[in-house]
Every structure is written in structure tokens, then in C-alpha cells.
């Protein structure tokens, strides 16, 4: 069986298209299919639509509805936990992940030794220039300093074996960053690229600011390089300061002490103060993560699933 996990946040407009498109390809694959829709606290009619879908296709459509918006990462986790298939795919509801690729991905995973077929976009055409710039910068940074490789342009859309999904589920951390988790668990992943698509309907829930915060999370969750960097720069400025001190003392002894250099002194004090605050901030970020992690809060809270519908009737 193939499980299709779909996180949905305000997707009432895209969902009907999504199901229609996926149904078109189901005949060309030999697996039976189960949909697991995760309603991530949508404000629109998404939940109503999911109930109807389940009503129409009770054996194929399952859904989980959260008590509020927990974020896509939580929705993915819940969906994977609920999945029962031997092959599992995660797809966005907005058809930016083309279902036409599925047969090819299944064929690939079954005919060879790989555990995961991922997808990546060919290029960043059509994306705002600043956003591409920061995206590239992000991937360069994490791949240079982090231990977990993240592929530029890789989407969350992927097909995985049960074994790999179980490995992902065994990572129960609260601060979830899927791109890192997919890569951290290892296994053989192959990527196919396709041309980027626009959303079929509705609008993206990502602003530039939320993407920025997301990328900081990506770095902090999978690498302690910023801490090393802080210690490194701190060490270098200590050495530089000691050398400068020696130089000044020797100069004062040899040539007397004209009281000059206040502007440069003020700049140095400012620079050092700024560096200290910056690194305190970095350390604070990690402590914040530890704080949230030690609370051991649930990753999501379910309000309703398709089983509740059966009970009511």
C-alpha cells in the first residue's frame, strides 16, 4: 500500500484539484492508496472538505485534525505516524508537487536499492531575487558548517520506504526541521528534478520573515557551528587585545604617553560590546531550544480524526 501524507493549512481551494490530479494517476500504479490529510488548524472550510472526502471514499481517505495550527513540521510528523503503507509519500496540497512523478518514483524505489526518492526544483526561476539570494546563502552556510547535508532546492515531496519512515519517527525531538531530519537518518536517497510550479490555488503561508526564522532554526537545530564560531572569534579578539596592550605599554615606556586615540578606543569598545551581545544572542538561541525541548510538550494535539465521524453515526 502507498500512503500519501498531505499537510493542509487553509487549503480548501486547492484540495479538490489535488485529489482530482492524484486520482488520475492511481490507475497507473499497482498499489492501493491511502490518503492521510492532516488539517493543521485551518481557519477555512478545509476540515469540512476532509469530512466530505472521507464520506465519499471511506476506505481511502483518512484525516487528522489538529486543535490549532502547529506548523507543517508537526503535521508531517502526525501524518507519518498515522501512515500504514509500505511506501509513504509526503506531498503539499497545492499541487506544487506534481503527482505525475509518483509512478516514476515508485518504479525507481522498487527496482533498486534506494530507500528514498526525493525531488528538487531545477532552478529558482520565478522567485524574488532577494529570496533566491538568501536561500542560496542558507544552503551554502549549512553545508559548509553543519554536519548534515541539505540539498539546495530539495522539496519535502519524497517517496520513502517504511524502514526510513520508522527511522524518522524515532526522532521525537520537539524542534523539528524536516530537511535536516530526512538527511540525518541516512539511507540512500536519489533526487529527480522537475520544473518549479506555481500553486494551483490559495496562497503561500510563508512570508520572507517566516522563511528567515525557519532558516535560523535549520542552522541551530542541526549544527553547533555558530557556537564554535563565537568561541573562535572571541579567542582571536583576546589575542589581538593582548598584543595591542603590549604594544601600547612598550610604546608608552619608550616614547611617553600622549593622550590620543579616543575615537579608536570608543569604536573598539562598541565593537566588543556588539560582538558580546551578538554571541550572547546566539547562545540564547540554543538555550531557548533546550528550554522548549526539556518541556517535552507534545508535537501536536489531535481534535478530530475520521474515526470520530464513524462514532457519531
C-beta of residue 195 within 8 angstroms of C-beta of residue 100 = no
Smallest gap from residue 27 Cβ to Mg ion (A)? 26
Residue 47 partner contact from Mg ion, ligand UDP, none using kind-dependent CB cut-offs of 5 to 8 Å: none
Q: Which stretch binds Mg ion (CB under 5 A): 63-71, 92-100, 210-218, 231-239?
A: 92-100
Residues that bind ligand UDP (CB under 6 A): 7-9, 11, 40, 69, 71-72, 75, 92-94, 96, 204-206
Q: Which lies closer to ligand UDP via its Cβ, residue 64 or residue 230? A: 64
C-beta of residue 110 within 8 angstroms of C-beta of residue 33 = no
From candidates 96, 132, 143, 193, binder to Mg ion by CB under 5 A:
96
Number of residues that bind Mg ion (CB under 5 A): 3
The CA–CA distances, whole Å, from 27 to 21, 84, 103, 142, 218 equal: 12, 20, 10, 41, 38
Smallest gap from residue 196 Cβ to Mg ion (A)? 10
Smallest gap from residue 93 Cβ to Mg ion (A)? 8
- Residues forming beta bridges with residue 160, ordered by sequence position: 88, 116
Kindly state whether residue 94 participates in binding Mg ion, applying the rule CB under 5 A.
Answer: yes
d(CA 108, CA 13): 32
Q: Which stretch binds Mg ion (CB under 5 A): 88-96, 218-226, 262-270, 272-280?
A: 88-96
Q: Which lies closer to ligand UDP via its Cβ, residue 75 or residue 82? A: 75
Residue located via cell numbers 499541487 = 95
Residues near 76 by beta carbon (within 8 Å), at least 6 away in sequence: 5, 7, 38, 90, 156, 176, 178
Crossing angle of the two packed helices 262-294 and 208-222, in degrees rounded to 10: 80
**Binding positions for Mg ion, rule: CB under 5 A:** 92, 94, 96
Amino acid at each position: 500500500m502507498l500512503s500519501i501524507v498531505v499537510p493542509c493549512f487553509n487549503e480548501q481551494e486547492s484540495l479538490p484539484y489535488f485529489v482530482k490530479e492524484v486520482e488520475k494517476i492511481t490507475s497507473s500504479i499497482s498499489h492501493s492508496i491511502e490518503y492521510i490529510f492532516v488539517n493543521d488548524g485551518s481557519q477555512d472550510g478545509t476540515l469540512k472538505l476532509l469530512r466530505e472526502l472521507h464520506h465519499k471514499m471511506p476506505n481511502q481517505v483518512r484525516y487528522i485534525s489538529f486543535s490549532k495550527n502547529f506548523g507543517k513540521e508537526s503535521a508531517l510528523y502526525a501524518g507519518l505516524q498515522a501512515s500504514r503503507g509500505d511506501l509513504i509519500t509526503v506531498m503539499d496540497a497545492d499541487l506544487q508537487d506534481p503527482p505525475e512523478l509518483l509512478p516514476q518514483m515508485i518504479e525507481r524505489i522498487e527496482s533498486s536499492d534506494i530507500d528514498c526518492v526525493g525531488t528538487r526544483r531545477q532552478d529558482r526561476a520565478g522567485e524574488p531575487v532577494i529570496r533566491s539570494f538568501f536561500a542560496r546563502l542558507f544552503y551554502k552556510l549549512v553545508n559548509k558548517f553543519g554536519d548534515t547535508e541539505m540539498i539546495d532546492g530539495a522539496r519535502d515531496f519524497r517517496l520513502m520506504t517504511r524502514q526510513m519512515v520508522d527511522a524518522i519517527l524515532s526522532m521525537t525531538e520537539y524542534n523539528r526541521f524536516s530537511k535536516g531530519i530526512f538527511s540525518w537518518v541516512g539511507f540512500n536517497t536519489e533526487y529527480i528534478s522537475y520544473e518549479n510550479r506555481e500553486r494551483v490555488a490559495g496562497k503561500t503561508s510563508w512570508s520572507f520573515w517566516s522563511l528567515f526564522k525557519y532558516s535560523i532554526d535549520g542552522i541551530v537545530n542541526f549544527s553547533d557551528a555558530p557556537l564554535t564560531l563565537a568561541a573562535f572569534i572571541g579567542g582571536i579578539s583576546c589575542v589581538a587585545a593582548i598584543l595591542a596592550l603590549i604594544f601600547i605599554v612598550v610604546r608608552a615606556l619608550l616614547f611617553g604617553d600622549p593622550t590620543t586615540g579616543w575615537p579608536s578606543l570608543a569604536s573598539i569598545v562598541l565593537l566588543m560590546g556588539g560582538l558580546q551581545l551578538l554571541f550572547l544572542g546566539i547562545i540564547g538561541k540554543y538555550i531557548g531550544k533546550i528550554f522548549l525541548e526539556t518541556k517535552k510538550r507534545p508535537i501536536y494535539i489531535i481534535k478530530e480524526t475520521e474515526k470520530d465521524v464513524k462514532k457519531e453515526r
